[in-house]
Structure 1
Amino acid sequence: MKVLVVGANGRVGSHLVDKLVENGHFVYAGTRRDNLTSSSNNVRYVHIDLLASPEAIAENMYDAEAIFFVAGSKGKDLLKIDLNGAVKVMRAAEHKKIKRFIMLSSVFALNQDKWNQSFLKDLTNYNIAKHFADHWLINNTKLDYTILQPGVLKEEPGSGKIDVNIDYPSENSIENVVDTLVQSLQDPNTIEKVITMSDGKTPISDALRNL
């Protein structure tokens, strides 16, 4: 497929671009930075500015067939980037008639009753932004969405095994998160699903197949 990754130069996005190419996809690598190039013929950097209008964002989606939203402000501009930036990309996707939309969110973002858990207290403002972005995707669009909600990300090799529909937040290797995002694109069973996850014991493909 031809896939747009919004936030392609981030911690998750850069690994996601590589993994998608490894799996045979062509990637439009969306970033606000200009003059970036790739040594791969299957990657094209495109300018995606989440502060721009949905119409301007849509112009640089080209002929993408699916979108990953993995961008984030690292807490610096949660309303404009993590919340409204995500909404504008959704609106742009619908304008371009791109149906498949995979959102990287935050564990329990849709369940405020769990935000008082000690693991999540420092993420409250981020979870608020993700809460409303996730709600918009579910309730205000007709996109074929998947929302992936991992806990805290860690820079460690992935095991290829995860737990889903978890009751308590736990750590996630970035590699496992990326592999789960890629598998979600390939697995129609993940459409219209909100998936909480952590590193765990079940192979990723099996965990998603048994949702």
Structure 2
Amino acid sequence: MKTFVVGATGRVGQKLIAFLEKQGHIVYAGARSSEKITETENIKPVFFDLHTEPEEMAAKFADAEAVYFVAGSRGKDLLQSDLYGAVKVMQAAESKGIKRYIHLSSAYALEPEQWQREGMASLMDYTIAKFFSDRWLIDNTSLDYTILQPGALKETPGSSLIEISETTSGAIPIEDVAVLLGEMLERPATYQKVIKVQAGETPISEALDQL
């Protein structure tokens, strides 16, 4: 499948484009610092700026059949990038006729009643930005979306073992998040779903089979 990854130079994005390439997908790797991306037969670097208008974004999508949003400003540009940038990417995808949309969110982003959990106070502004971008995706688009809500992203080796839960997000290696994002691409059982995930004991493909 031809995919467009927004945020291809980020911690998750780098591993995601590598996994998608390994699976044989064509990857348009979008980032503001696209010069950092190595072009290969299946990976095509694309300059992509979340501050631009949806019409310009849509033109960058070329013939992509699916869009991933895995970008993040690490707290430096929450409103324009993490929130409004995400909304504009959704609008661009719809205007282009793209249906499949996979959105990396954060733990409990859609549940304000959970935001007083230990460790979440320092991420409050980020979580609020994700709340509104997630809600826009659910309430204002007709995309075949999946919203993934992991807990803390760990820079430890992946195990490919996870736990998908209706109630709990938790810590998980970045590598496993990337593989999970890649594996759910062509699985209709993940459409119109918010998926909470943490490290666990179930192989990723098996966990997805159980949805």
Letter in 1 for 2:127: N
CA shift for structure 1 position 37: 5.2
The alpha-carbon distance between structure 1 residues 167 and 37, as it changes in their structure 2 partners (threshold 3 A), is: closer
Is contact 2:9-2:37 (8 Å) kept? no
Q: Aligned partners of 2:26, 2:168: CA distance in 1, in Å?
A: 36
Q: Is the 8 A contact 1:162 1:202 kept in 2?
A: yes
Which 5+ residue runs of structure 2 have no aligned equivalent? none
Percent identity, please. 51
Tell whether 2:81 aligns with 1:81. yes
Q: Which residue of 2 aligns with 1:97?
A: 97
Query: Alpha-carbon deviation of 1:186?
Result: 2.6
User: Residue 16 of structure 1 aligns with which residue?
Assistant: 16
Residue 173 of structure 1 aligns with which residue? Answer: 173
* Maintained 8 Å contact 1:166/1:198: no
Separation of aligned partners in 2, 1:4 and 1:39: 14
* Match of residue 68 from structure 2: 68
**Contact kept? 2:149, 2:169, Cα under 8 Å:** no
Contact 2:9 2:34 in 1 (8 A): no
Partner amino acid, structure 2, of 1:144? D
4+ aligned runs moved over 4 Å, structure 1: none
* 2:9/2:36 contact within 8 Å kept: no
Shift of 1:57: 0.8
Give TM-score scaled by structure 2 length: 0.96
SS at match of 1:185: coil
Q: Who is 1:153 aligned against?
A: 153
1:47 maps to 2:47: yes
State the aligned residue count: 211
CA distance in 2, matches of 1:109, 1:37: 30
- Secondary structure of residue in 2 paired with 1:45: strand
Q: Secondary structure of the residue that 2:101 maps to in structure 1?
A: strand
Matched, 1:129 2:118: no
- Aligned position for 2:7: 7
In structure 2, the residue matched to 1:194 is: 194
Residues 28 and 43 in structure 1, CA contact (< 8 A), matched pair in contact too: yes
Code of the aligned partner of 2:26: F
Check conservation: 1:15, 1:175, Cα contact below 8 A.
yes
Question: Structure 1 residue 33: deviation in Å?
Answer: 2.0
What residue is the counterpart of 1:33 in the other structure?
33
Judge conservation of contact 2:5–2:30 (CA < 8 Å) in 1.
yes
Q: Secondary structure in 1 aligned to 2:147?
A: strand
Distance apart, 1:207 and its partner CA: 1.3
RMSD: 1.2
| 8 A Cα contact 1:156 1:174, kept in partner | yes
